[in-house]
Structure 1
Amino acid sequence: MSAHSLSRSPRRWLALAALTLSVLIVGLDGTVISVALPTIAGELHADSGQLQWISGGYLLALSVAMLPVGLLGDRYGHRRLLLAGIALFGLASLAGAFAGSPGEVVAARTVLGLGAAAITPLTMAILPRVFAKEELPRAIAVWTAATALGMPVGPLVGGWLLDHFWWGSVFLFNVPVAGLALLAGLWLLPRDPRTADRAVPFDTLGTVLGGLGITVLVHGTILIPAHGWTAPAVLASLGAAAVLLTAFVLHERRHLHPLVDLGLFADRRYLWGTLTAVFVNFAVTGILFVVPQYLQAVLGNDSLGTGIRVLPLIGGLMVAAAMSEALVPRLGARVVVPLGLFLLAAGTLLGATTGGSDGYGLTALWLALAGLGFGLAVVPATGLAMGALPETNTGSGTSLLETVQQLGGVLGVAGLGSLLGAGYLARLRTDGLPAPAAHTARDSVTGADAVAARLHDPGLGLSAHTAFVHGMDLVLTACGAIALVTGVLAALFLPRRAAAAPTVAEGAAQRAESVA
């Protein structure tokens, strides 16, 4: 079925279901592994470095491959490359389920990252081909909800699987879901139009510069939790990343057929839509980084209970997704997006008042408020960025959007993780403990709980919980401040009215003029 006829067919909603199912498994896989790491360590005798790369290998492959995949999709077909990514994701999951060593798990996770890198931007790129302009915001809202739903539900699914099956089930779970998404995509998604771009030279140098720059940037951030921001290896990686990514930007601006069109940032819709989405996701990443730890370590919930208790965030997002469809046409994105950011700031700043003796009620309240703000901000912001893309060759624009968000999330976790650690250590009291026990307690709140149980020292457990809540409050304060500042900037700089998206020919002509 062609894209034009599909946009008027009831099957478009089934096509959306196929796309959201694809991004849902990516979101689930991104967080489900965190629950399984302790079990994998015990079953496969993986050391801390190998465990780090089970997570880091996926993140690295995802970040590096996402940039060129959009251009490849524009040239060889979004649907074709998306289905290949889903198939690769399913096969890598099958391999991971029956891995016999930590190295095999790292390899499987890395290939999973490659599959995920194709799925996320290309599902977004297909949306404008399936839905007419007036229905696109609703589709983006559903797509956004699916990407967000996977993050808190991942630990819930992982905890249930590990309670009933062996560790490989967290990988095997993906296989039937990927198979269903693949069949649905084959049946429901519009066929790729013929393109004339295959004869255009591929930007190999841009791919190398961007890939190397992202690689050393992500590698440096992976080292931060263990070594700190000032470690020589971290500084060297971040410095090299700055040089390589600067060279990448300069090359892309001068190249006639660049890997990504940085000229998109000249459109205020794309620039401020992307920046808003980046900072909104930064704040929500911070929330999802600290709240599950709080619910487990401080309030004593298991993985399943933790996943359930994070759902108010998703509930708020769902409500906002429905509200934004009605509010944006009436009030405009310049009103709705800042409103969402201010609600997100209010929710996180309310969360930052959490005390060591507070229960779940306050958490549920501020999570719902933050989720409402998240949805009201990110759905219209993503719609603005999507509206700036040309009618064809949308893959490069969505890849750039997703890559920037991904890197912002990576740096955000590193920065907020450091803030959490500093706040935790500032309030933790380990006086009188043996040196090994004190080291374990200072390493994490979970370690402190283990030491307290072993030494029958309830005071240490109370100190650790109070210290962790203090660190969490600092992180939430930072998230709230970021949302507040972004809301002010959005109110000032978001365009009042949408401008026409540039055509492909106009974009090429502009680049040719800049090169000349």
Structure 2
Amino acid sequence: MTTPSAVPEAVHRRRWAILGVLMLSLLIVVLDNSILNVAIKTISTPAPTGLGATQSELEWAINAYTLVFAGLLFSAGLLGDRLGRKKVLLGGLVVFGAGSALAAFASSPNELIGFRAVMGLGAAFVMPATLAVLMNVFERDEQPKAIGIWAGGVGLAIAIGPITGGALLDHFWWGSVFLVNVPIVLLALALMVWLVPDFRDPDPGRIDPVGVALSVVGLVLLVYGIIRGGELADFTDVTVLGTIAAGLAVLAGFVVFEKRSDHPSIDVTYFKDKVFSAAIAAITLVFFALMGVTFFAVFYTQSVRGYSPLETGVLMLPLALAQLVFAPRARLVVDRFGNRATTTGGMVLIAAMLGAFATLEADTPIWILEVVFFLMGTGMAHIMTPVSVVIMQSLPREKAGSASALSNTFRQVGGALGIAVLGSVLSAAYRTGIEDELGAVPAGARHAAGESIEATLAVADRLGPTAAPLVDSANGAFLHAMHVTAVCGAGVAVLGALVVAAFLPGRQREAPATERAHGGEETAEAVTQGGGAS
């Protein structure tokens, strides 16, 4: 029996042009983070070149964006379901563009952190709406292909970002990496008004302000405690343990509240589905590992190896190109080998490449780093496409915003925790390795000098030629800290591989997610009763 089309013919005819506009909107959100990855060293440089941000302030500049983004995604998905996804997309782009312009002219690290939070607010309304509209304009049999192209757009943004950021930093001031978003936002707004239709859920859920507040407060406390522990190089400090414990307690309260609410932000009972939970876990763990690695890779290439921001952007190109090439084709591998084998293989490959980072030294041939980046991108492509399809097809079409919000929330949470945890491991290991070498540094400056390699090198610049041994010690301490951090990241990726190997369906079991979406009335009913899991 042929299923009647759920997509209006006029929309169906221009679906690929609509996909292009959605990818442009997605490009802005991802581009900003990939540009920032190259710029963090420049921003950490003292004024007038940068803002003199410490490593903990850099972590907050990244995580202020991701935490606001993650905390508001469900409410954004729900508002898209209720008000219309096109309206939410347009509003999110306007806020993101305004935040970008403000961030470009920030005069202190704290201002930058605040304006990055504004950008996260806008991005929270952009990201889920792009995937939700995609699910509305493509028929079900074309959705995996469209999602693959959408995921390839992420790779394109990651490819363009570092090179664009490097080129801007070679010719302009650090704020240009944010100001470049503004003209792209204006172009996306014009094309969206012209091409993209509006969709909404005929039966949207209610907003859950208490749940949103609990999730944001819990995550901020948890991340603050982790970053503070790295800054002090002491995770047994009472304030560190107290803040982490408070964050975990608030998050536990969030879960209890959501289970009892008649309109939860997240229908936590949905995670009883092992396949769905495994797919979410895969996204969370892979971004935990990769975001932490990206954070220290920039300091390795620029601070230890001496490459410029533009050269660093070029060096990171294989990571992005591999995603761009393989993400749209990953569905073919899934068709042949199944979700379990494809995703497990991707996680194992990423774990191996993270382990390879633990072998890099100051004089390692640079082509080895290029191979590592390319294989990491390959593994990433064979994780994101299959798990995105599993997640998006777990909910009916009218709940596409909810599925997208789930996927992106846990991606952002994983990335934020990865930067916080692995960044703190890096910071603590570096301080331990460098503190005995800071004897020539004035006593009042030793704590700040030991926080990061950039802080140490800034002090060495002021000390002049006599500081050459300190520079060598800083490089050695950083390499040791990077090796420790890479091994931790590899361990997280191995955990992800075990989870997906145990719970994702194999080739013979690829149908359940589709069957649940087409015929799983209980699932659809549970989602509707739970406020759309938005």
Q: TM-score normalised by the shorter chain: which range applies?
A: 0.7 to 0.9
Match of 1:108 among 110, 115, 135: 115
Structure 1 residues 459, 210: CA separation in 2 closer, same or farther (over 3 Å shift)?
Answer: closer
| Amino acid in structure 2 at the alignment position of 1:430 | E
Match of 1:177 in 2: 184
Given that 2:154 and 2:324 are in contact with CA atoms closer than 8 Å, whether structure 1 keeps it comes out as: no
1:299 CA displacement? 0.9
Q: Please, which moves more after superposition, 346-355 or 39-48?
A: 39-48
- The CA distance in 2 between the partners of 1:6 and 1:267, in whole Å, is 37
- The CA distance in 1 between the partners of 2:485 and 2:59, in whole Å, is 23
Helix, strand or coil for the counterpart of 1:364? helix
2:15 corresponds to 1:12? yes
2:476 corresponds to 1:461? no
Helix, strand or coil for the counterpart of 2:392? helix
Match of 2:495 in 1: 485
1:168-188, Cα deviation, whole Å (9 max, x unpaired): 433321111011112222223
Helix, strand or coil for the counterpart of 1:192? coil
1:7-27, Cα deviation, whole Å (9 max, x unpaired): 743x32222222222222112
Given that 1:320 and 1:373 are in contact with CA atoms closer than 8 Å, whether structure 2 keeps it comes out as: no
Match of 2:254 among 244, 248, 254: 248
Given that 1:64 and 1:215 are in contact with CA atoms closer than 8 Å, whether structure 2 keeps it comes out as: no
Match of 1:343 in 2: 349
Match of 1:448 among 435, 456, 468: 456
- The CA distance in 2 between the partners of 1:130 and 1:53, in whole Å, is 37
Match of 1:94 in 2: 101
Helix, strand or coil for the counterpart of 2:437? coil
Gaps of 5+ in 1: none
Match of 2:77 in 1: 70
Match of 2:218 in 1: 213
Helix, strand or coil for the counterpart of 1:27? helix
Q: CA RMSD in A?
A: 3.2
Given that 1:277 and 1:381 are in contact with CA atoms closer than 8 Å, whether structure 2 keeps it comes out as: yes
Match of 1:391 in 2: 397
Q: Percent of pairs identical after alignment?
A: 35
1:336 CA displacement? 0.8
Match of 1:192 in 2: 199
1:253 CA displacement? 1.7
Match of 1:27 in 2: 30
1:73 CA displacement? 1.4
Structure 1 residues 124, 219: CA separation in 2 closer, same or farther (over 3 Å shift)?
Answer: farther
Match of 2:86 in 1: 79
- The CA distance in 2 between the partners of 1:88 and 1:40, in whole Å, is 29
Given that 2:153 and 2:324 are in contact with CA atoms closer than 8 Å, whether structure 1 keeps it comes out as: no
Q: Please, which moves more after superposition, 165-174 or 338-347?
A: 165-174
Given that 1:39 and 1:167 are in contact with CA atoms closer than 8 Å, whether structure 2 keeps it comes out as: no
Helix, strand or coil for the counterpart of 1:333? helix
2:422 corresponds to 1:416? yes
- The CA distance in 1 between the partners of 2:261 and 2:15, in whole Å, is 37
Query: Which structure ranks higher in relative contact order (CA pairs < 8 Å, sequence separation ≥ 6)?
Result: 2
1:3 CA displacement? 4.0
Given that 2:44 and 2:52 are in contact with CA atoms closer than 8 Å, whether structure 1 keeps it comes out as: no
Structure 1 residues 110, 377: CA separation in 2 closer, same or farther (over 3 Å shift)?
Answer: closer
2:522 corresponds to 1:506? yes
| Amino acid in structure 2 at the alignment position of 1:484 | V
| Amino acid in structure 2 at the alignment position of 1:298 | V
1:343-390, Cα deviation, whole Å (9 max, x unpaired): 222222223221332131111111111111111122211211112122
Q: Please, which moves more after superposition, 47-56 or 124-133?
A: 47-56
2:333 corresponds to 1:327? yes
- The CA distance in 1 between the partners of 2:59 and 2:286, in whole Å, is 26
Match of 2:3 in 1: none
- The CA distance in 2 between the partners of 1:448 and 1:128, in whole Å, is 50
| Amino acid in structure 1 at the alignment position of 2:167 | W
Match of 1:130 among 124, 131, 137: 137
Given that 1:390 and 1:504 are in contact with CA atoms closer than 8 Å, whether structure 2 keeps it comes out as: no
Structure 1 residues 166, 442: CA separation in 2 closer, same or farther (over 3 Å shift)?
Answer: closer
- The CA distance in 1 between the partners of 2:335 and 2:396, in whole Å, is 21
Q: Please, which moves more after superposition, 464-473 or 364-373?
A: 464-473
- The CA distance in 2 between the partners of 1:43 and 1:346, in whole Å, is 37
Helix, strand or coil for the counterpart of 2:135? helix
- The CA distance in 2 between the partners of 1:5 and 1:492, in whole Å, is 42
Given that 1:298 and 1:465 are in contact with CA atoms closer than 8 Å, whether structure 2 keeps it comes out as: yes
Helix, strand or coil for the counterpart of 2:516? coil
1:300 CA displacement? 0.4
- The CA distance in 1 between the partners of 2:528 and 2:24, in whole Å, is 40
Helix, strand or coil for the counterpart of 1:353? coil
2:297 corresponds to 1:313? no
Given that 2:167 and 2:310 are in contact with CA atoms closer than 8 Å, whether structure 1 keeps it comes out as: yes
Given that 1:19 and 1:123 are in contact with CA atoms closer than 8 Å, whether structure 2 keeps it comes out as: yes
Structure 1 residues 438, 211: CA separation in 2 closer, same or farther (over 3 Å shift)?
Answer: closer
| Amino acid in structure 2 at the alignment position of 1:501 | R
- The CA distance in 1 between the partners of 2:392 and 2:65, in whole Å, is 27
Given that 1:149 and 1:314 are in contact with CA atoms closer than 8 Å, whether structure 2 keeps it comes out as: yes
Structure 1 residues 141, 477: CA separation in 2 closer, same or farther (over 3 Å shift)?
Answer: farther
1:64-93, Cα deviation, whole Å (9 max, x unpaired): 222321122122222221121012212333
- The CA distance in 1 between the partners of 2:371 and 2:33, in whole Å, is 26
Task: Using structure 2 for the length normalisation, give the TM-score.
Answer: 0.85
| Amino acid in structure 2 at the alignment position of 1:281 | F
Match of 1:285 among 281, 287, 291: 291
Structure 1 residues 137, 392: CA separation in 2 closer, same or farther (over 3 Å shift)?
Answer: same
Matches within 5 A, 1:261-276: 261-276=267-282
Corresponding residue pairs, total: 511
1:125-152, Cα deviation, whole Å (9 max, x unpaired): 2221122333323332333343355457
Given that 1:44 and 1:102 are in contact with CA atoms closer than 8 Å, whether structure 2 keeps it comes out as: no
Given that 1:28 and 1:153 are in contact with CA atoms closer than 8 Å, whether structure 2 keeps it comes out as: yes
Runs of 4+ in 1 over 6 A off after TM superposition: 43-47, 49-52, 100-103, 511-515
Helix, strand or coil for the counterpart of 2:395? coil
| Amino acid in structure 1 at the alignment position of 2:28 | I
- The CA distance in 1 between the partners of 2:272 and 2:244, in whole Å, is 27
Given that 1:254 and 1:514 are in contact with CA atoms closer than 8 Å, whether structure 2 keeps it comes out as: no
1:328 CA displacement? 0.9
Q: Please, which moves more after superposition, 83-92 or 418-427?
A: 418-427
Given that 1:276 and 1:486 are in contact with CA atoms closer than 8 Å, whether structure 2 keeps it comes out as: yes
Given that 1:3 and 1:191 are in contact with CA atoms closer than 8 Å, whether structure 2 keeps it comes out as: no
2:218 corresponds to 1:202? no
Match of 1:141 in 2: 148
| Amino acid in structure 1 at the alignment position of 2:298 | P
1:227-255, Cα deviation, whole Å (9 max, x unpaired): 45344443333222222222221222222
- The CA distance in 2 between the partners of 1:511 and 1:384, in whole Å, is 16
